[in-house]
Chain A
Amino acid sequence: MTDKNNNQDNKFLKHLKKNWAKYTVGILLIVAILYNYDRDPKVTQAVLASMVRHSTPLVLGALCGLIGERSGIINIGIEGQMLISAFAAFMTTAYTGNIIFGVVLGILTGMFMGYLLAIMSIALKLDQIIGGTVLNILALGITSYFYQVGLSMGQKILPIPLGKLADLPLVGRVLFNNPPITYTTFILVFVVHYILFHTKWGLRTRAVGEHPRAADTVGVDVFKIRYVNLIIAGGVAGLAGSFLSLEAVGSFERAMTNGRGFVALAVMIFGRWTPFGAWGAALLFGFASAMQTQINFSGALDIPYQFISMLPYLLTIVVLAGFVGRSRAPAASGVPYEKEG
């Protein structure tokens, strides 16, 4: 009995030792936020709400990336998937006037893009980096070509306050007064975590991403797992696209994803290919972006804005340096599976 307790103590210490950087940053952030909230509740809330807004497409993009990569396919086409879905969602909404149709079409478009990537990387065994690049170029080309100036969709998706919860101090406005895609994102983080680590599908997905031949020899259909995962992941990226055009901006602009698909990849890696990790990393990015806007906007500090704009990236570097712990990609990601290889 005591032995077991000892063991658990040890585990806890080890965990602390490994993750101290994460916890220190987290605690410092919370202290800073509380302090600021005490001084200026309005601004603090605005910054935090903006953090959540900034982080949503990153979380979704990272989820898309990690679903694919956990099953062994590197997806650098998230940017393209998001862009073309944003476009499809916007156009549908503009023409039908129905936002739900718009979101659905955004998701379907993302899924189709995922399917394209699957065909290229699984069936044709094309290099996965090239496959992803094809998606990016395709999306940029198509959306720029069909883009029509002056089209509008009317009202963008509005926040839905969750009753009394939305009135809580500090967190109320930030967490419980959001538009639906943002809520969906919160839920998706839990859902993807659950599927990945607590279901049969998740176990098989991880096996296929680590050692596809081993999975094959116990009767797991490697190709099916990879196809389905890429298509679902595409849907998640599609949701991110819909978020950008329908929920965040309320219109479509050329290349409006603006590199978020790539930042999402970084977020996925910071988060060590786990949904919660990705969420934390995305919030951190979001926070830095929100701070940057806030500082530039308020003009409180007498520093050239170019320096302030570095903030998100600086923070990234600092945190990354603190996370020196082992982080490794699924072993088979990037390698096409050959049955008789």
Chain B
Amino acid sequence: MVNTVLEVQNITKRFPGVIANDSISFKLNKGEIHALLGENGAGKSTLMNVIYGLYKPDEGQIFINEEAVEVQNPHDAIARGIGMVHQHFMLVPVFTVLENIVLGSETTNGPSLNLRSPRKDIQKIIDQFNLDIDLDTITEDLPVGIQQRVEIIKALYRQVDILVLDEPTAVLTPQEVDDLFKIMRSLVDQGKSIIFITHKLKEVIEIADQITVIRRGKVVGSAKPDEADQQSLATMMVGRDVDMHLHKKKAEPKEMILEVNNLVVKDANGNVEVDDVSFEIKAGEIVGIAGVQGNGQTELVNALVGMIPTESGTVKINGLPATNASPRKVTEMGSAHIPEDRLKDGRVLPFTIADNMVLNTYYLEPFAKSGIRQQEEIKEFAVDLVEKFDVRTPSAENTASSLSGGNHQKEIDAREFSRPINLLIAAQPTRGLDVGSIEYIHHRIIEKRDEGCAVMVVSTELDEIMELSDRIIVMFNGKIIDTVNADEITKEQVGLLMAGVTA
């Protein structure tokens, strides 16, 4: 007998100007991993927030274990055994990991907060699933991949029956994804049920038992993983054929754009993060920086664009010294930066999308004349970009914070691609994007290269590195462990290098 643990019927949720969920119905069976696919802005997160009690649906009904329920708030949801790992983490940055995990489900000892017995229980979960995490670290000091684990432990600690994972793999390394899948499988073996949202079709086919596809707020189809392939899923999702393979000409490197010599970068605690790194990028080539998250790539990028100071070494852009130049200086030298954390860096969330589109050019003509903002110009520019890059929003005057996960990314991509540049430093440029948008961004990157731009792509997505790069630099432990031509190496070999194995 199939046992439906969660069912939603005709859920509709409207935001000003958009219908995010348009009469959506679907069922989750016990012990099932149910993948939810859909373009950026299709309404996946909204639906999950409705189920979790964060949003009130305008219409529709939720059933849990075949009983009609009303989930008023997350408290109700947790009480009914629903747990959710949000697309954008819900962790208090200044709390320790332990505090974040117990928050909301605290145990007390008389009037005092008791952290000792939860610590033991949590340690058990950590050991059981091999999660390896220090409970006393301040959460904001952790890399995103580890923060993800904190979120999962949070849910496990609450002993959920239904677990919602909203794009958990977007920020994970392949190894971490494998670990996550192991955890998911053992949860399902214990009779729990999982809703799994992702844009990576490969993952869907690998792990899902059932697939539901949403487009523009409506369910447009469902499939079984053994009957579907990536191509058909992509088509169903986007509503047109997607070319999953990138076609590009051979690179024709020209003059030197970026020169990095013996760069050393330390973090706030004095640990060496980038260790004597030298490389160069020429106009007309794409250099991919591969590496497992946390091997110095983040710090390398941040130092190049002036967000953190360097310890020693030199950086030159277009032959001009740019060591420790301010971000504005670096921008004005003709470089563009797509930051790794799209919510923290590079944008002001309470501002409108339009203002964010000119965040690094607002003081220049035509957006400002003699220090006065030119509203019309800004708006026109933004509306044009929103259109071109297919940022899904009812208006460019909406706040940036109202965008869906992937559309945050598209907004920043749109801004950086729309300026005359000769150096593009892109960290995780397609993180959280749907296949259609990835295709679009990849084409833009290659277009920039062919226009004579030097491109540096940092990605934890090995496939992305392999497809885009002309040359690949592999970082390990803060050092460049090898530099190779992309057409002379296999994915497996790069994988080995990323693990620190040299031939």
The reply to whether A203 and B52 form a contact with Cβ atoms under 8 Å apart is: no
Residue of B nearest to A200 (CB): B106
The reply to whether A210 and B113 form a contact with Cβ atoms under 8 Å apart is: no
The reply to whether B113 and A215 form a contact with Cβ atoms under 8 Å apart is: no
**Residue among B77, B89, B95, B108 making CB contact with A200, cutoff 8 Å:** B108
0 or 1 for each of A212-224: is its CB under 8 Å from B? (1 = yes): 0111111111000
> From residue 95 to 144 of chain B, which have CB atoms closer than 8 A to chain A?
95, 99-100, 102-106, 108, 111-113
The reply to whether B103 and A198 form a contact with Cβ atoms under 8 Å apart is: no
> From residue 197 to 215 of chain A, which have CB atoms closer than 8 A to chain B?
198-200, 202-204, 206-207, 210-211, 213-215
The reply to whether A200 and B90 form a contact with Cβ atoms under 8 Å apart is: no
The reply to whether B74 and A219 form a contact with Cβ atoms under 8 Å apart is: yes
**Residue among A203, A213, A340 making CB contact with B106, cutoff 8 Å:** A203
Majority secondary structure, B binding face: loop
Nearest CB on B from A44, distance (A): 40
A119 at the interface (CB under 8 A from B): no
**How far is B103's CA from A203's CA once the two chains are assembled, in angstroms?**
7
The reply to whether B74 and A211 form a contact with Cβ atoms under 8 Å apart is: no
The reply to whether A211 and B108 form a contact with Cβ atoms under 8 Å apart is: no
With A200-B106, A207-B95, A211-B93: A217-B113 Cβ-Cβ less than 8 Å: no
User: How many residues does chain B have at the interface if contact means C-beta atoms less than 8 Å apart?
Assistant: 33
The reply to whether B52 and A210 form a contact with Cβ atoms under 8 Å apart is: no
**Residue among B92, B106, B108, B112 making CB contact with A214, cutoff 8 Å:** B92
The reply to whether B94 and A210 form a contact with Cβ atoms under 8 Å apart is: yes
**How far is B99's CA from A202's CA once the two chains are assembled, in angstroms?**
11
A104 at the interface (CB under 8 A from B): no
**Residue among B84, B94, B113 making CB contact with A199, cutoff 8 Å:** B113
**How far is B401's CA from A210's CA once the two chains are assembled, in angstroms?**
18
The reply to whether A218 and B105 form a contact with Cβ atoms under 8 Å apart is: yes
**How far is B74's CA from A341's CA once the two chains are assembled, in angstroms?**
16
A331 at the interface (CB under 8 A from B): yes
Nearest CB on B from A191, distance (A): 11
Nearest CB on B from A218, distance (A): 3
Residue of A nearest to B105 (CB): A218
The reply to whether B99 and A203 form a contact with Cβ atoms under 8 Å apart is: yes
Point out the residues of chain A lying under 8 angstroms from B106, CB to CB. 200, 203-204
Point out the residues of chain B lying under 8 angstroms from A216, CB to CB. 54, 73-74
The reply to whether B103 and A215 form a contact with Cβ atoms under 8 Å apart is: yes
The reply to whether A221 and B75 form a contact with Cβ atoms under 8 Å apart is: yes
A339 at the interface (CB under 8 A from B): yes
The reply to whether A217 and B84 form a contact with Cβ atoms under 8 Å apart is: yes
Residue of B nearest to A340 (CB): B55
0 or 1 for each of A7-50: is its CB under 8 Å from B? (1 = yes): 00000000000000000000000000000000000000000000
B154 at the interface (CB under 8 A from A): yes
The reply to whether B90 and A217 form a contact with Cβ atoms under 8 Å apart is: yes
Point out the residues of chain B lying under 8 angstroms from A331, CB to CB. 93-94
B91 at the interface (CB under 8 A from A): yes
Nearest CB on A from B283, distance (A): 42
The reply to whether B113 and A211 form a contact with Cβ atoms under 8 Å apart is: no
The reply to whether A198 and B113 form a contact with Cβ atoms under 8 Å apart is: yes
B479 at the interface (CB under 8 A from A): no
The reply to whether A217 and B52 form a contact with Cβ atoms under 8 Å apart is: yes
Point out the residues of chain A lying under 8 angstroms from B77, CB to CB. 219
User: How many residues does chain A have at the interface if contact means C-beta atoms less than 8 Å apart?
Assistant: 23
**How far is B90's CA from A215's CA once the two chains are assembled, in angstroms?**
8
The reply to whether B113 and A200 form a contact with Cβ atoms under 8 Å apart is: yes
**How far is B99's CA from A299's CA once the two chains are assembled, in angstroms?**
56
With A199-B112, A339-B54: A218-B95 Cβ-Cβ less than 8 Å: no
Point out the residues of chain A lying under 8 angstroms from B108, CB to CB. 199-200
The reply to whether B112 and A211 form a contact with Cβ atoms under 8 Å apart is: no
**How far is B89's CA from A198's CA once the two chains are assembled, in angstroms?**
25
Nearest CB on A from B154, distance (A): 7
Point out the residues of chain B lying under 8 angstroms from A211, CB to CB. 90-93
Point out the residues of chain A lying under 8 angstroms from B56, CB to CB. 340
With A199-B112, A214-B91: A220-B103 Cβ-Cβ less than 8 Å: yes
Residue of B nearest to A208 (CB): B92
**How far is B108's CA from A220's CA once the two chains are assembled, in angstroms?**
16
B354 at the interface (CB under 8 A from A): no
The reply to whether A218 and B113 form a contact with Cβ atoms under 8 Å apart is: no
B379 at the interface (CB under 8 A from A): no
> From residue 73 to 90 of chain B, which have CB atoms closer than 8 A to chain A?
73-75, 77-79, 84, 86, 89-90
**How far is B115's CA from A200's CA once the two chains are assembled, in angstroms?**
10
**How far is B54's CA from A217's CA once the two chains are assembled, in angstroms?**
7
> From residue 241 to 282 of chain B, which have CB atoms closer than 8 A to chain A?
none
**Residue among A199, A218, A221 making CB contact with B103, cutoff 8 Å:** A218
Point out the residues of chain A lying under 8 angstroms from B15, CB to CB. 340
Point out the residues of chain B lying under 8 angstroms from A341, CB to CB. 401
The reply to whether B104 and A220 form a contact with Cβ atoms under 8 Å apart is: yes
Nearest CB on A from B165, distance (A): 14
> From residue 225 to 246 of chain A, which have CB atoms closer than 8 A to chain B?
none
Residue of B nearest to A330 (CB): B94
Point out the residues of chain A lying under 8 angstroms from B92, CB to CB. 206-207, 210-211, 214-215
**How far is B95's CA from A233's CA once the two chains are assembled, in angstroms?**
23
Nearest CB on A from B138, distance (A): 12
Point out the residues of chain A lying under 8 angstroms from B103, CB to CB. 203-204, 207, 214-215, 218, 220
**How far is B401's CA from A199's CA once the two chains are assembled, in angstroms?**
33
The reply to whether A202 and B113 form a contact with Cβ atoms under 8 Å apart is: yes
0 or 1 for each of A262-290: is its CB under 8 Å from B? (1 = yes): 00000000000000000000000000000
**How far is B53's CA from A221's CA once the two chains are assembled, in angstroms?**
13
List 28 A-B residue pairs with CB atoms under 8 Å apart, sorted by A's residue number: A198-B112, A199-B108, A199-B113, A200-B106, A200-B108, A203-B103, A203-B106, A204-B106, A207-B95, A207-B103, A210-B93, A210-B94, A211-B90, A211-B92, A211-B93, A213-B90, A214-B91, A217-B86, A218-B78, A218-B104, A219-B75, A219-B78, A220-B103, A220-B104, A340-B15, A340-B54, A340-B55, A341-B401
Chain B interface (Cβ < 8 Å from any Cβ of A): 15, 52, 54-56, 73-75, 77-79, 84, 86, 89-95, 99-100, 102-106, 108, 111-113, 154, 401
Chain A interface (Cβ < 8 Å from any Cβ of B): 198-200, 202-204, 206-207, 210-211, 213-221, 331, 339-341
Besides A198-B112, A200-B108, 11 other CB < 8 A contacts? A200-B106, A207-B95, A211-B90, A214-B89, A214-B90, A214-B100, A214-B103, A218-B74, A219-B73, A339-B54, A340-B15
Return the 3 tightest CB-CB contacts between A and B, nearest first: A218-B104, A219-B75, A214-B90
